[in-house]
Structures are given as structure tokens and as C-alpha cells.
């Protein structure tokens, strides 16, 4: 590949249709849904051999440490741009384009989502090679997926006249159709699924955005200008970006430009937008079941069972999706999984936390599992990574009792700093300034028993934090 290609990975979104596994604070792009790696890690890994440029990763501010840890695990070092809140794809790509041009260059941007499955990486690379000449000529190239069935959950692209060997003009973009319309599209062979992946020069996208959505460009330029470095992240200007209009690249640019082109892609693609989509792309047993975890299935067919923490047994059922986590179980007919987001909405409206958090909550220093709780107490199992440290903090309403299960803790408790090892404990009174650190080379595990009148996570006054949290 001769041209410089700058990958841009969009890792926003909450994946609400994959609840209860995907949650607001740990969405699907950070989950290993289709292999041993998370979907973000798989997206980055499939770029190997394609380009030498380090990717630009765009994610929500509240996912920054989760994203940073996952890219570290696979040895990648992307630039990470933080959105204070999601404004859809047109502004996100504008941030990446402006950032990529900061050095006075105008690279080709390969726009990818972090939550797609592509089973045949060689075909994916060949499609990008085919799109390069069009992008170098100034076209805004999208990748149209060769459809395998009449799908009503995707938008479509109708191809126009040919451009070169493998490209086409885009005749039109089409919204998600009903089933008879989708069946008609499939029969013509002129329609392709809209993948949401693109290849174009950064400057060309900026030119088209200035023409068709200048208010987005103005807000994003200001957000980049007001951006600040924060550890390994570039935090864009919050006030400017939250004032940016919310719009997709399709509506803002692609449906309006006269430079839209398409290259077809037949590479085993899926956006894993629902549990049924995951069932479709997964390996199945003799009864057409997809079974993950500790599952006992008798007289069961065409069913997906995802058992995360305990035995799940099924008997005499078919066409179901069953997903078990530590704090929630979903049972749905495969034909209804597009409506899982309605359950998430109901959880939000009722003030419940299951739409946002798992029982296991990840932090930059490790994670904790809320094992038990009552009116005036809460029990957590805390894991602190080697060399990591929680913030120097204080609580107005709760006391904490720490029991070390494995590893060694360095504890700051008021004026004293001391070590606590396995089977030892310490007590932190209400109002005491304290900190917890793992000085060792193995993970520190401890049980924390909180007691007090209020046990919310917002009862934390931070005095010092190496991760820049406030």
C-alpha cells in the first residue's frame, strides 16, 4: 500500500440492544463478543499489515481508561481523542480529520467502527486497496456490504455507474426498508448494506463538511483549538463540542455530496447490532445453537445462550436468546431482540443502575465487584493492578474496613502510611483522608466493607489523583 492511510476508530456508543452484557459504562466495543479479543482490540488487530500509521481512536470520556488499557494489552499506541458526550459520526470524524491535519499533512482517513466483525481480513484489505485510487482522486468512498439476505435492520446503498475496476458512483442512500422492499433490493443485485466505513482524504471531508454542514465544522474547529492534553489523551473543548449539532456523516455529507463513491465488500461483515446478529455470525452446534459458558441444553434448537457466571439449563425451547450476568438475566425471542433497547429505556426511567453499570465496575487502577449491600452497608471485592494507586480521598458519610485477600497493600490512613498483607485488615474512619496502593508486582485483592448513612460513589472528595480525575 503506497499511500499513507490513517485509520480512525470510532469507539463511542452504548450498544443498548446487547443488554445485559453491554452497559453504558462498559459497552459492546469493549467486550469479547466474537473471539478472545474485545471488538475494539479485534478492529485494531485487523489493521496489521495494512498501514504503518498509528490509529486515531475516538471514544467517550467516561470510557477513556477502559480504552487505554485495552489498546495497551495488544501493544498499540493510538492517539486517543475524548468526546465529552456523543454527537454522532459527522462531528467525531471532523475531530479526527482536523487532528490528523494538525501537522500540515492531508492523509487518507480510513474510518472504521470499533464494534464490527469482519471474518475475512484478506478480503477487507483488498477492498481498501481497491478504494485507494478513488480516494486519492478526491472521492468520498464508502464500503457497501454484499448482502446475504433481506435485512431490515441496515440502511442500503444503491450503486450507480462504474468507476474504474471495482468502484461505483453512489446512486442513492436508502433508509432501513421493510421486508418486501429489502427482498426487492436483494433481487436486483444493485443494493448493498451501508457499512458505515469510509476512505477519503481528511481535507476533502473538511471541504464537504464546510459546504454542507458548516456549523458542525465551526464547533469542531473550536473544540480542537480548545483541546488539552490529559495524560495520554487529547480532551477536546467541552463547551464547544457539546454545542455542536448532532448528525451522522450520512445525513450531513454523504447523501448531499456529488463525490460519493462505493467499493463493494464481501468479507463476512456484521455490526453485531443485536443478539440475533451475534447468533448469525457465531459457530453453531448440531442443533443450530450458540452456547457460551456453563450451559446444559436439552431439546433446544436455534438458540443463543450466554452464561457468564453460573450454570444455565434449557429444556424444550427454540429460537430464544438467553443472557445471564451477575445482576441480570435476559430471555427473549430471537425475533424481538431489536426491542431490547426498550428494556434499557425502562431501567433508566425507573432510576435503576443496571442499564449503566455491571456489578463489576472498571477503574484506571483495576476494578471492583459489588458483592452485597443493605440499608447501611456494602461489600466490595476490590482488585488493584500492580503499581496502581487509588486517589487520596475522604468520605463524609461512610467508614471502610479493608481485609487483604492476596498481595500487599500500602495504606495511607491519616498521618500514617503502612503495609497490610494477606489475612490482615485495617479500618478507615469517617472523614479520614486515606489512600490505597499496590506496591507489588502481582494483583492486590481485598474485601472492602463500607458502613454509614450514605454509600453512593459520589461521596468521594479527591485531594490527589494520578489519573487526573476530579
Q: Say yes or no: 307 and 250 in one domain.
A: no
Q: List the CATH number of the domain containing 265.
A: 3.90.550.10
Radius of gyration of the CA atoms of the chain, in A: 24
Q: How far is CA 311 from CA 39, 302, 305, 331, in A?
A: 25, 19, 11, 15
pLDDT at 166: 85
Q: Say yes or no: 193 and 334 in one domain.
A: no
Sign of the CA dihedral running 69, 74, 77, 79: negative
Considering the entire predicted model, what is its pTM? 0.89
Q: How far apart are the first and last CA of the chain?
A: 44
Mean pLDDT of 387-404: 97
Alpha carbon distance 323, 463 (integer Å): 41
Query: Which of 330, 331, 337 lies closest to 317 in space, CA to CA?
Result: 331
Question: pLDDT, tens digit, for every residue of 318-374?
Answer: 999 999 999 999 999 999 998 999 999 999 999 998 999 888 888 889 999 999 989
Name the phi and psi angles at 209, rounded to 5.
-65, -40
Please identify, among 244, 270, 296, the residue that sits at the C-terminal boundary of a domain. Answer: 270
Do residues 90 and 253 make contact, with C-beta atoms less than 8 angstroms apart?
yes
Residues with Cβ within 8 Å of 470's Cβ and at least 6 positions away in sequence, in order, are 462
pLDDT at 459: 94
Question: pLDDT, tens digit, for every residue of 150-181?
Answer: 988 899 999 999 997 789 999 999 999 999 99
Does residue 351 belong to any structural domain of this protein?
A: no
Q: List the CATH number of the domain containing 438.
A: 2.60.120.10
Q: Say yes or no: 318 and 380 in one domain.
A: no
What band does 2 get if pLDDT is binned at 50, 70 and 90? low
Q: How many distinct structural domains can be found in the chain?
A: 3
Q: Say yes or no: 310 and 385 in one domain.
A: no
Please identify, among 231, 255, 270, the residue that sits at the C-terminal boundary of a domain. Answer: 270
Question: pLDDT, tens digit, for every residue of 256-268?
Answer: 999 999 999 999 9
Maximum alpha-carbon separation in the chain: 76
Does residue 350 belong to any structural domain of this protein?
A: no
Does residue 470 belong to any structural domain of this protein?
A: no
Q: Say yes or no: 239 and 312 in one domain.
A: no
Mean pLDDT of 92-121: 95
pLDDT at 3: 67
Does residue 389 belong to any structural domain of this protein?
A: yes
Whether residue 54 has pLDDT greater than 90 = no
Question: pLDDT, tens digit, for every residue of 431-447?
Answer: 999 999 999 999 999 99
Q: What is the mean pLDDT of the chain?
A: 94
Alpha carbon distance 419, 183 (integer Å): 68
Does residue 250 belong to any structural domain of this protein?
A: yes
Whether residue 107 has pLDDT greater than 80 = yes
Q: Say yes or no: 79 and 188 in one domain.
A: yes
The larger pLDDT score, comparing residue 461 to residue 14, is at: 461
Q: Say yes or no: 115 and 74 in one domain.
A: yes
Does residue 132 belong to any structural domain of this protein?
A: yes
Range of the domain at 283: 275-344
Element (H, E) at 94: helix 89-100
Please identify, among 270, 300, 319, the residue that sits at the C-terminal boundary of a domain. Answer: 270
Mean pLDDT of 246-255: 96
Does residue 469 belong to any structural domain of this protein?
A: no
Whether residue 37 has pLDDT greater than 60 = yes
Does residue 355 belong to any structural domain of this protein?
A: no
Q: Say yes or no: 222 and 335 in one domain.
A: no
Q: Say yes or no: 80 and 128 in one domain.
A: yes
Do residues 35 and 42 make contact, with C-beta atoms less than 8 angstroms apart?
yes
Do residues 402 and 446 make contact, with C-beta atoms less than 8 angstroms apart?
yes
Question: pLDDT, tens digit, for every residue of 185-202?
Answer: 999 989 999 999 999 999
Q: Say yes or no: 71 and 148 in one domain.
A: yes
Q: Say yes or no: 168 and 201 in one domain.
A: yes
Helix (H/G/I), strand (E/B), else coil: 258: coil
| Percentage of the chain modeled with pLDDT above 70 | 99
Q: Say yes or no: 186 and 287 in one domain.
A: no
Whether residue 35 has pLDDT greater than 90 = no
Amino acid at each position: 500500500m503506497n499511500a499513507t492511510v490513517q485509520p480512525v476508530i470510532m469507539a463511542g456508543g452504548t450498544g443498548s440492544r446487547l443488554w445485559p452484557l453491554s452497559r453504558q459504562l462498559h459497552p459492546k466495543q469493549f467486550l469479547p463478543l466474537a473471539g478472545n479479543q474485545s471488538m475494539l482490540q479485534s478492529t485494531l488487530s485487523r489493521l496489521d499489515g495494512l498501514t504503518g500509521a498509528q490509529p486515531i481512536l475516538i471514544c467517550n470520556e467516561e470510557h477513556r481508561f477502559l480504552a487505554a488499557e485495552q489498546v495497551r494489552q495488544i501493544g498499540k499506541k493510538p492517539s486517543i481523542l475524548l468526546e465529552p458526550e456523543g454527537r454522532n459520526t459527522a462531528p467525531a470524524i471532523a475531530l479526527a480529520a482536523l487532528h490528523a491535519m494538525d501537522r500540515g499533512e492531508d492523509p487518507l482517513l480510513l474510518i472504521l467502527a470499533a464494534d464490527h466483525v469482519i471474518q475475512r481480513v484478506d478480503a477487507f484489505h483488498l477492498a481498501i486497496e481497491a478504494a485507494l485510487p478513488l480516494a486519492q482522486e478526491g472521492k468520498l468512498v464508502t464500503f457497501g456490504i454484499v448482502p446475504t439476505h433481506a435485512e431490515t435492520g441496515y440502511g442500503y446503498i444503491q450503486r450507480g455507474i462504474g468507476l474504474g475496476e471495482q468502484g461505483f458512483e453512489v446512486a442513492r442512500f436508502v433508509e432501513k426498508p421493510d421486508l418486501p422492499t429489502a427482498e426487492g433490493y436483494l433481487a436486483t443485485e444493485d443494493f448493498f448494506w451501508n457499512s458505515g466505513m469510509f476512505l477519503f482524504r481528511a481535507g476533502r471531508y473538511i471541504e464537504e463538511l464546510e459546504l454542507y454542514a458548516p456549523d458542525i465544522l465551526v464547533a469542531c474547529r473550536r473544540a480542537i483549538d480548545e483541546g488539552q492534553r490529559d495524560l495520554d489523551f487529547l480532551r477536546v473543548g467541552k463547551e464547544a463540542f457539546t454545542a455542536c449539532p448532532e448528525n451522522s456523516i450520512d445525513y450531513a455529507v454523504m447523501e448531499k455530496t456529488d463525490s460519493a463513491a462505493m467499493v463493494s465488500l464481501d468479507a463476512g461483515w456484521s455490526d453485531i447490532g443485536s443478539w440475533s446478529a451475534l447468533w448469525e455470525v457465531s459457530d453453531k452446534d448440531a442443533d443450530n445453537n450458540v452456547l457460551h459458558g456453563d450451559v446444559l441444553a436439552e431439546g433446544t434448537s436455534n438458540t443463543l445462550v450466554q452464561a457468564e457466571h453460573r450454570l444455565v439449563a434449557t429444556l424444550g425451547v427454540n429460537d430464544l436468546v438467553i443472557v445471564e450476568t451477575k445482576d441480570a438475566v435476559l430471555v427473549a425471542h430471537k425475533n424481538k431482540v431489536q426491542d431490547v433497547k426498550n428494556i434499557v429505556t425502562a431501567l433508566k426511567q425507573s432510576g435503576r443502575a443496571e442499564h449503566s453499570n455491571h456489578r463489576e465496575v472498571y477503574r484506571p487502577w483495576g476494578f471492583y465487584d459489588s458483592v452485597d449491600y443493605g440499608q447501611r452497608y456494602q461489600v466490595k471485592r476490590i482488585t488493584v493492578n500492580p503499581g496502581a494507586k487509588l486517589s487520596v480521598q475522604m468520605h463524609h458519610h461512610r467508614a471502610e474496613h479493608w481485609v487483604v485477600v492476596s498481595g500487599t497493600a500500602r495504606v495511607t490512613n491519616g498521618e500514617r502510611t503502612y503495609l497490610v498483607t494477606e489475612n490482615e485488615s485495617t479500618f478507615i474512619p469517617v472523614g479520614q483522608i486515606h489512600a490505597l496502593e499496590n506496591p507489588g508486582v502481582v494483583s492486590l485483592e481485598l474485601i472492602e466493607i463500607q458502613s454509614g448513612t450514605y454509600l453512593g460513589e459520589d461521596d468521594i472528595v479527591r485531594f490527589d489523583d494520578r489519573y487526573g480525575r476530579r
